[in-house]
């Protein structure tokens, strides 16, 4: 999955000014809200938290409460399943 990060290593799902592009398989099949609640620190780089603690990359960690992100991701997967069911009905017809 291609993502973009800003100077604070926060993730985005679309390119923008000052953003850098990376391919991160961890985000495959994840929804936009889920991805944009994450921070990605590439290998060889460092991020310093507000309390002064420094973390080296590669690190993939949420900056939004993960429980909120899971709600978005669950909704996304439900929609994907509903779309898949719809497609199957078109292909094979209603069993009833």
Partner 1 sequence: MAEGIKTRRGGSKPTQPFALIQQPYPAGSTCTCSKGDIVLTAPDTSGLALFVIPEAGTWTITSTDGTDSKAQTVEVSTQGETIVAPALVYELVLYDAGDECTSVTGGWTLYAWGVSTAEKQSDCIYLFNNDGQEASATSKKSIAMSDYSTLNVKLKDGWKTNSGCFEFSAGSATKTTSSVGAKTYTLDISAVSSGKVKFRPYGHWSDNANELSECGVYISRVWLN
Which residues bind to partner 1, rule: CB under 8 A? 26, 37, 39, 43, 47, 49, 51, 53, 55-56, 58-67, 69
How many CA atoms are closer than 13 Å to the CA of 56, on its beta-carbon side?
A: 2
Helix (H, G, I), strand (E, B), or coil: what is residue 67?
helix
Q: Provide, rounded to whole angstroms, the least separation between the CB of residue 89 and partner 1.
A: 34
- 44 Cβ partners below 8 Å, 6+ apart? 57
In the bound state with partner 1, the residue whose beta carbon lies nearer, of 17 and 51, is 51
Q: Provide, rounded to whole angstroms, the least separation between the CB of residue 86 and partner 1.
A: 30
């Amino acid at each position: 999955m291609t993502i973009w990060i800003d100077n604070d290593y926060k993730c985005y799902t679309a390119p923008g000014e000052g953003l850098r592009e990376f391919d991160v398989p961890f985000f495959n099949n994840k929804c936009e809200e889920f991805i944009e609640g994450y921070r990605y620190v590439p290998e060889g780089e460092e991020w310093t938290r507000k309390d002064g603690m420094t973390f080296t990359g590669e690190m993939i960690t949420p900056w939004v409460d993960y429980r909120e992100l899971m709600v978005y991701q669950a909704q996304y997967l439900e929609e994907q399943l509903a779309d898949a069911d719809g497609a199957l009905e078109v292909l094979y017809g209603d069993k009833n």
